[in-house]
Amino acid sequence: MLWPGLTDPVHDSQRLFRQILQAMSEPGTLHNLDLDAPPEVAPIGAALWGALLTLCDLDTRVWIARELDTPALREALSFHTGCRLADDPASADFAVVTPTTLHTEIAFATGSDEYPDRSTTLLVSLDSLNDQGPWQISGPGIPERRWLDVGDGEALMGCLARNHTQFPRGLDALLACDARLTAIPRSSRIEKCLKEDRSCMSQ
């Protein structure tokens, strides 16, 4: 079965982009992306599919983690966006991953000191995503602090927190569960708050 594209490519991608832009500029806020979801069996949900349709075209290279890599996803991506699929994560503009992928160190592009923008954007597929949780984020775009629950997020948040220490180089991440999406750019500071004593441990 062919995956659905955007019904109205011009206005739908504009609408989705504005939501993604708002997510990226206000890290930790949740946004519901409204579009036709890929089939039930698809390894990614509607929000990540929407982000791929909105941001990818023949100028972009996409790297897909092994656990999400299906012929259907590859075919749908090539058909709808024309993007190239990358074998080398260091050459990828976007990488579609899960928190499990990040248990092993993968050499994504983090840009250079002169050109930190030449870096991979992670598109992370999550099993759960809520705005109440143990992960506290602060920094640009956040009035004081926001909290996130990303399910089993030790490896993911550890990776993103380490990432912040290299600022301005680093990875930016769009996190999504079904139609819900949030973002953690490299500028965000991440801490884990333990419920019992409310003290924060810096990652």
Partner 1 sequence: MNGYNFAYLDEQTKRMIRRALLKAVAIPGYQVPFGGREMPMPYGWGTGGMQLTASILGSDDVLKVIDQGADDTTNAVSIRAFFQRVAGVETTTATTSASVIQTRHRIPEAALSHGQILVFQVPIPEPLRFIEPSEQETRLMHALEEYGVMHVKLYEDIARYGHIATTYAYPVKVDDRYVMDPSPIPKFDNPKLHMNEALMLFGAGREKRLYAIPPYTRVESLDFEDHPFEIQAWDECCALCGSETSYLDEVITDDAGNRMFVCSDTDYCMTRRGEVA
Q: Which residues bind partner 1 (CB under 8 A)?
A: 9-11, 13-15, 17-18, 20-22, 24-26, 54-60, 93, 112-117, 119, 121, 139-143, 167-168, 172, 185-187
Minimal distance, residue 71 CB to partner 1, in Å: 25
Q: Which is nearer to partner 1, 55 or 129 (CB)?
A: 55
Q: Which is nearer to partner 1, 40 or 144 (CB)?
A: 144
| Residue 84, amino acid | R
Minimal distance, residue 157 CB to partner 1, in Å: 17
Q: Which is nearer to partner 1, 1 or 21 (CB)?
A: 21
Minimal distance, residue 136 CB to partner 1, in Å: 15
Q: Which is nearer to partner 1, 186 or 192 (CB)?
A: 186
What are the φ and ψ backbone dihedral angles of 95, each rounded to 5 degrees? -130, 125
SS3 track for the chain: CCCCCCCCHHHHHHHHHHHHHHHHHCCCCCEECCCCCCCCCCCCCHHHHHHHHHHCCCCCEEEECHHHCCHHHHHHHHHHHCCEECCCHHHCCEEEECHHHHHCCCCCCECCCCCCCCECEEEEECCCCEEEEEEEEECCCCCCCEEEECCCCHHHHHHHHHHHHCCCCCCEEEEEECCEEEEECCCCEEEEECCCCCCEEEC
Minimal distance, residue 89 CB to partner 1, in Å: 18
Minimal distance, residue 19 CB to partner 1, in Å: 11
Q: Which is nearer to partner 1, 146 or 192 (CB)?
A: 146
